[in-house]
Amino acid sequence: MMNYAGLDKELLLERAGEFIVNARKKNGITQEGLLRLIDKGCNLNMDRNTLSLIERGRVATNWLNLMVIQHVLGFSFDDFINFVTNPDS
């Protein structure tokens, strides 16, 4: 994954994971529930281990996976990018 808005890869992954966890919890969705939504809507074949690693910022993923996850959670990609680049706003 490339740098975005001057953020290094490690920080970008950490913030992406934080966004996913916050959005999932805000919607009252468990990891298993999110995986079912992803599988039903997009068939990404993502397992719980992979999702857990993404949420903890421990594994690089591609933009498509991040876009699918934020979409199933009901957020726009702009919401995601705004949080990743400025989480305190």
Q: Give 28-32's long-range contacts (Cβ < 8 A, gap of 24+).
A: 29/73, 31/55
Dihedral angle of Cα 18, 24, 25, 30, to the nearest 10 degrees: -120
pLDDT band at residue 83 using 50, 70 and 90 as cut-offs:
confident
Average pLDDT over residues 55-64: 77
Average pLDDT over residues 65-87: 79
Mind listing the pLDDT tens digit for each residue in 8-32?
Answer: 778 878 888 898 999 999 999 999 9
Domain assignments of the chain as residue spans, ordered by start? 9-84
Which CATH number, 3.30.450.20, 3.20.20.80, 1.10.260.40, 2.40.30.160, labels domain 9-84? 1.10.260.40
Residue 79 near residue 67, CB atoms below 8 Å: no
Q: What is the pLDDT at residue 2?
A: 47
